[in-house]
A and B are shown apart, each in its own frame.
Chain A
Amino acid sequence: MCLAIPGKIVEMDSQNAHLAVVDVVGVRRKVDLGLLQDELPVPGDWVLIHVGFAMSKISEADAVDQMQTLRMLGEAEAAMQEVRGYGLENHEQSEPAQRRKQ
């Protein structure tokens, strides 16, 4: 139900408008674009391939976004710990960095 792989459209089929050749690190296969007919992808686009059909276009922007979120995992909490160390929530005077609370 679930094995689907990203691939890049490298050329449209000259005889069948709904077929395109997709490349997955050097492996090529004709893929049916019929499920994406509402916004047909073009060569250069990345699509998710399942059983020889393109299921969805892959958004590079969302992928980059996600990587950024993942890189920052745990950093929000670390930042919060720093802020707590300054005691700002209790309206205390900010403490110098060396005496930051745990």
Chain B
Amino acid sequence: MKFVDEFRAPELITKAGEEIRRLADANRHYRIMEVCGGHTHAIYRFGLKDLLPSNVELIHGPGCPVCVLPMGRIDDGLSLAAQPNFIFAAFGDMMRVPGTHGSPLEYKARGMDVRIVYSPADALKLARSNPGKHVMFFAIGFETTAPSTALTLVRAKAEGLLNFSVFCNHVTIIPAIRAILDSPDMRLDGFVGPGHVSTVIGCRPYDWIAKDEGKPVVVSGFEPLDILQSIVMLLRQLRKGEAKVENQYKRVVPWEGNRAALRAMAEVFELRPYFEWRGLGFISQSALKIRASYAEWDSEQRFAVPGVRVTDPKAAQCGEVLKGVLKPAQCKLFGRECTPEQPVGALMVSSEGSCAAYYNYEHRKPVTIASAAAI
């Protein structure tokens, strides 16, 4: 696979790992946060932690849009779609996320018309081919995904397709990073920046992290060599006492971002005054809602939303794990009451949530493993 396989070349990965071990100052302990859930997933999938020295620690950040979605919003979405002749359409990621009375797949088992879509455009297609039904697209995601929802709404409006609406749960990444840095128990040395969000917002939005907080940010791709190279670049800055924003993912991320994508978002969305993030609490100006000019395509403006608020059990320490203060295994519920099959808290519900990723890929790994020997 072009633009994929080259960035998985084993010899180069080994070399990058060696460079990291060479650069890491033995007298320092580095705490680097990778913001995006996609990076969390990649790190586990490719076993990249096995290549890092013990004094370079990767902390998983809050960039998992499924994990930070409050259960009440899932309840709201499902109760809206429980009307007759409704189709509930969402990405596969949402299908097993439990609401108070079950997950979308469980609702499907009980007779609701629930469809998995790969794209918001496919949800629109469902509306076109089912004129007698209303298709509600349950939208999630950060700025990577929001432009696609926006463009889909633009197309729906242009077509005058009224049996389609979006239940919008898009959130923005900068307020989440700010919440992490504002947390008093936080100590981070630098950030591996979210590469795909940055294809939309560019690299400028991270300037304040370097200038005001003094932490380096390297916007990173998702292949093993991308992530390792980003860590090399961060360590180089830290050795020199520098703090700037760098773009490791140059082949894809434009420094100024994607103007057409930002225009589409501005046309369709505006910022909510505040929004609740599961595990982090209410954060102002951190989420998108659909403008009045698109009211007919906004599930919340068209239908009555119950506005359910569900609090997580106090024992679930998702907030601390989200902020990187606790490791997944340090939460009292981890692996016992809370597992990927029966998730209690936010970080178990999605396969890229820190707790689920750790549980699935890592926590039973023995400490010493003979390195891969050719047969």
Residues of chain A within 8 A (CB-CB) of B151 are 32, 34-35, 53
Cα A4 to Cα B261 in complex, Å, equals 16
- Contacts A1-B141, A46-B2, A52-B121: A58 and B148 contacting too (C-beta < 8 A)? no
Mark interface residues in B40-65 (1 if CB within 8 Å of A CB, else 0).
01000000000000000000000111
Q: How far is the CB of B209 from chain A (nearest CB, A)?
A: 19
Q: How far is the CB of A67 from chain B (nearest CB, A)?
A: 6
Q: What is the predominant secondary structure among interface residues of chain A facing chain B?
A: mixed
B38 with A6: CB separation less than 8 A: no
Indicate whether A24 reaches chain B with its CB closer than 8 angstroms.
yes
Indicate whether A50 reaches chain B with its CB closer than 8 angstroms.
yes
Of the 9-residue stretches A69-77, A82-90, A91-99, which lies at the interface with chain B?
A: A69-77
A58 with B3: CB separation less than 8 A: yes
Q: List the A residue with the shortest CB-CB distance to B225.
A: A70
Q: Which residues of A44-64 are within 8 A (CB) of B?
A: 46, 48, 50-53, 55-56, 58-60, 62-63
Q: How far is the CB of B200 from chain A (nearest CB, A)?
A: 7
B251 with A59: CB separation less than 8 A: yes
Indicate whether B339 reaches chain A with its CB closer than 8 angstroms.
no
- Contacts A35-B258, A65-B250: A1 and B65 contacting too (C-beta < 8 A)? yes
A34 with B199: CB separation less than 8 A: no
Q: How far is the CB of B320 from chain A (nearest CB, A)?
A: 22
Q: How far is the CB of A14 from chain B (nearest CB, A)?
A: 18
Mark interface residues in B139-177 (1 if CB within 8 Å of A CB, else 0).
001101101100100110000000000000000000000
Residues of chain B within 8 A (CB-CB) of A35 are 147-148, 151, 258, 260-261, 264
A63 with B260: CB separation less than 8 A: no
Of the 9-residue stretches B190-198, B297-305, B328-336, B363-371, which lies at the interface with chain A?
A: B190-198
Cα A96 to Cα B200 in complex, Å, equals 54
Q: Which residues of B246-284 are within 8 A (CB) of A?
A: 250-254, 258-261, 264
A53 with B194: CB separation less than 8 A: no
B36 with A53: CB separation less than 8 A: no
Residues of chain A within 8 A (CB-CB) of B36 are 1-2
Q: List the A residue with the shortest CB-CB distance to B250.
A: A62
A73 with B15: CB separation less than 8 A: yes
Residues of chain B within 8 A (CB-CB) of A52 are 118-122, 148
Residues of chain B within 8 A (CB-CB) of A56 are 199, 252-254, 258
B91 with A70: CB separation less than 8 A: no
A50 in complex: contacting residue of B16, B41, B148, CB < 8 Å: B148
- Contacts A1-B37, A35-B258, A66-B250: A55 and B15 contacting too (C-beta < 8 A)? no
Indicate whether B292 reaches chain A with its CB closer than 8 angstroms.
no
Residues of chain A within 8 A (CB-CB) of B118 are 51-52
Indicate whether B243 reaches chain A with its CB closer than 8 angstroms.
no
Indicate whether A79 reaches chain B with its CB closer than 8 angstroms.
no
Cα A36 to Cα B367 in complex, Å, equals 47
Cα A79 to Cα B177 in complex, Å, equals 39
Q: How far is the CB of B254 from chain A (nearest CB, A)?
A: 7
Q: List the A residue with the shortest CB-CB distance to B13.
A: A70
- Contacts A51-B91, A52-B121: A34 and B264 contacting too (C-beta < 8 A)? yes
- Contacts A25-B1, A50-B145: A3 and B38 contacting too (C-beta < 8 A)? yes
B16 with A48: CB separation less than 8 A: no
Other CB < 8 Å A-B pairs besides A1-B38, A2-B63, A46-B3, 10 of them?
Answer: A1-B65, A32-B119, A34-B264, A48-B199, A56-B252, A59-B251, A62-B250, A63-B3, A63-B251, A73-B229
Chain A to chain B: the 8 pairs with minimum beta-carbon distance, closest first: A2-B38, A52-B119, A6-B3, A62-B251, A53-B148, A62-B250, A63-B251, A1-B142
Partner-A contacts on B (CB < 8 A):
1-4, 6, 12, 15-16, 18-19, 22, 36-39, 41, 63-65, 91, 118-122, 141-142, 144-145, 147-148, 151, 154-155, 194-197, 199-200, 222, 225, 229, 232, 250-254, 258-261, 264
Partner-B contacts on A (CB < 8 A):
1-6, 8, 24-25, 32, 34-38, 46, 48, 50-53, 55-56, 58-60, 62-63, 65-67, 69-71, 73-74, 77
23 A/B residue pairs, CB under 8 Å, sorted by A? A1-B145, A2-B38, A2-B144, A2-B222, A4-B144, A24-B1, A35-B264, A37-B260, A38-B260, A48-B252, A53-B147, A56-B252, A58-B3, A59-B251, A62-B250, A63-B251, A65-B250, A66-B250, A73-B19, A74-B15, A74-B18, A74-B22, A77-B22
